[in-house]
Every structure is written in structure tokens, then in C-alpha cells.
Amino acid sequence: SRAYSLVDSSQVSTFLISILLIVYGSFRSLNMDFENQDKEKENSSAAGSFNGNSTNNSIQTIDSTQALFLPIGASVSLLVMFFFFDSVQVVFTICTAVLATIAFAFLLLPMCQYLTRPCSPQNKISFGCCGRFTAAELLSFSLSVMLVLIWVLTGHWLLMDALAMGLCVAMIAFVRLPSLKVSCLLLSGLLIYDVFWVFFSAYIFNSNVMVKVATQPADNPLDVLSRKLHLGPNVGRDVPRLSLPGKLVFPSSTGSHFSMLGIGDIVMPGLLLCFVLRYDNYKKQANSDSCGAPGPGNISGRMQKVSYFHCTLIGYFVGLLTATVASRIHRAAQPALLYLVPFTLLPLLTMAYLKGDLRRMWSEPFHSKSSSSRFLEV
């Protein structure tokens, strides 16, 4: 089936949405750092001493071991979905729907905070063992649950895209790369993973494993439930099969084809963009603390003004453009990371070497210091 063809004019929409998701997720992550720093300052002031373990436990930092084994774990998961999809599709659909609900609620939270600020205090409401939540959090979660239910009932691609966007932003915001070394290990391993399962899996499994898993629809849980409970032929049988939100899809102008980009092709480069944004902020604070000390003498002032975030973001756009051109030339699905990883990592490594930051970015995890300036110029 060519219903999810990667070769389509709607790829322009994919470019814009993926870049917006990366930028928004990176800045949400940076804002979370600022909020955690403020809480640490408040706790240290109240307790009279600094508690270094007061960071947000919900943030997951990937270390070198996890970066090396993540492609292996992803390969195992891909094979399980390829061979046993019919057996696990309902469980996988329910788990995906739950995660998408939480992620989309996180995506909606700033808007809900803005809407509820004039009419309600920010005091948290207790729900017993479930925890305490603000009115904005309850509103965002309610809207997210409503959207997931409508998606289950209709299976519309636009609602699936909305859930996939929430997953992208949440993963970029809550997962951190601590150093350039870990970034290179992770992205290089995923590049090999992507290339193998797109280009070479057909020689072993007689099918393109990556494309088949990405485009295979799942049975609707409502249909499965109606059959299990014997509710009758007219109950729950009109609901469509669901295409899971592991990708962004956009229809062509004729509506006969969809362009597709996996969320991994957004999230993994997005983690690198998030890392360099945090490093730009870290370096800006360090320069302000040292009274604006100039950089190395062999680097022009114009080069010093170019941020790592801008450099890597431009590389991501060029990589996406190259992947699209390659897919049109070869008329086949392309592993996007084959183009995204070199076009993001190589310019970043080159610029870090020229600026003299490569050693510090490579092996020394940084901890952004509290600063009176909460905004980074972009």
C-alpha cells in the first residue's frame, strides 16, 4: 500500500511541524530547568542549606550505557511488533493511548494555565491517593482524555497527529542528554538501527520491517471489547481501525497519499537540539559571570555570536530536505536519520572545535546555574 508514501508535496508541512515541535519542546525543557532552579533556591533558603538532590525526579537523563543499548532494545521491540502484532496490538494500543493522553495534557498545560489564571487560584486540589492537581492540570487532562476518546471513535489522522505531537514535546522536555559524547553514541547507534531496518531487513525477513510496523493499523479496542463481551453485531462494530500515533502524517492536496515522518526522527535530533540550547544558556551565564570575557583569539566575533542551537537547527532542516529529495529520487522510503544525524552532528562538532568548547561539551556534564536572566536570545 502507498497510503503512507514518504514522497509527497505535503512534506513541507512535516518540515514546519517537526521544527516547531523541536523548538517548543526544547524551550519547555529549558523552562523546566529554570523552575527547578527556583524551587531549589526556595528550598535552600527555607532549610538554610542547599540540598543538591532536590532536582525533578521526572526528568530522565540518558547515560552512555543506555545510549548504547537503546538501539538494541528498539530492534527487539520492532521484531516483537513485526511477528506478534496481532497478539499484542490491543495492549499496545491501550498503552499508547494512555501515554498519548498524558503527553497531550502536558502539551496543553501552558494554554490551560493561561485560561484559568484570571478565574481560579493556583492552589492544588487533593484527590486522595491520586495526588494533588491545579485547575489548569485538571482542565488539560480532561481535554486530553476527550481528544483520545474522539480519536478512538473516529480514527481521524489529525487527532492522531495531535497525540503524536504531544508525545514528541513530552519526550524532548523530559529526557536529557548530559554530554556531547552521549549524544554521539545515541545518534550514531540509532542511525545504524534506522539504516538496517529500512534498507536491509527485507533481505532477511522478506519484508521492510520498519515500514510494515509503522504503517500497520491496529484493531480498535472498542471493537475487540464488543466481540469479547458478545454485545451484538451493531455495538462497537462501526469504529475504524486505528493508526497508532508513532508518526506524523499529512495528506497531499489530492488526498490520495500521505507523507509520513516517524516521531523518532523528531525526538532523537530534538534531544540534541535541547542539549545545545541548554549549553548555549549555560555558556551565556558563564560569560556574564566572567564580565563578558572574549572567546579564543583565532575566532571571529561573528562566529562567536552564532549559537549552537541555530547551527544544529539549520542542519536538521537541511537533513530533512535531503531525505525528501533522496526519497523522491529513489521512490522508496528512506531512513531519515541517515541524513539528519550527519547534518546535525558534524556542523555542531566543527563549531564546538572552532570555538574551543568541544572538550567541555564532550565529557563534562554541566549544571546550569541560577541566574537573574531567565531568557535566552534566539
Contacts of 83 (CB under 8 A, 6+ apart): none
Active site residue 265: yes
Which of 8, 161, 265, 280 is the catalytic position? 265
Q: CA 335, 340, 341, 346: dihedral to nearest 10 degrees?
A: 150
Rounded to whole angstroms, the Cα distance separating 38 from 93 reads 38
Which of 161, 194, 223, 280 is the catalytic position? 194
For residue 332, give the C-alpha cell: 522508496
How many C-alpha atoms does 236 have within 13 Å on its Cβ side?
15
Contacts of 178 (CB under 8 A, 6+ apart): 61, 62, 63, 275, 365
Surface-to-core class of residue 302, CB atoms within 10 Å of its CB (0-12 exposed, 13-18 middle, 19+ buried): exposed
Mark residue 131 as left, alpha or beta (left: phi above 0; alpha: psi -120 to 50; beta: remaining).
Answer: left
Strand extents, DSSP E, the chain? 60-61, 125-126, 132-133, 175-176, 247-251, 258-262
Q: Among residues 193, 174, 190, which one has the least CA distance to residue 182?
A: 190
- Provide the β-strand partners of residue 260: 249
Q: In the 8-state DSSP scheme, what is residue 124? A: P
Active site residue 161: no
Q: Which residues are identified as catalytic?
A: 194, 265
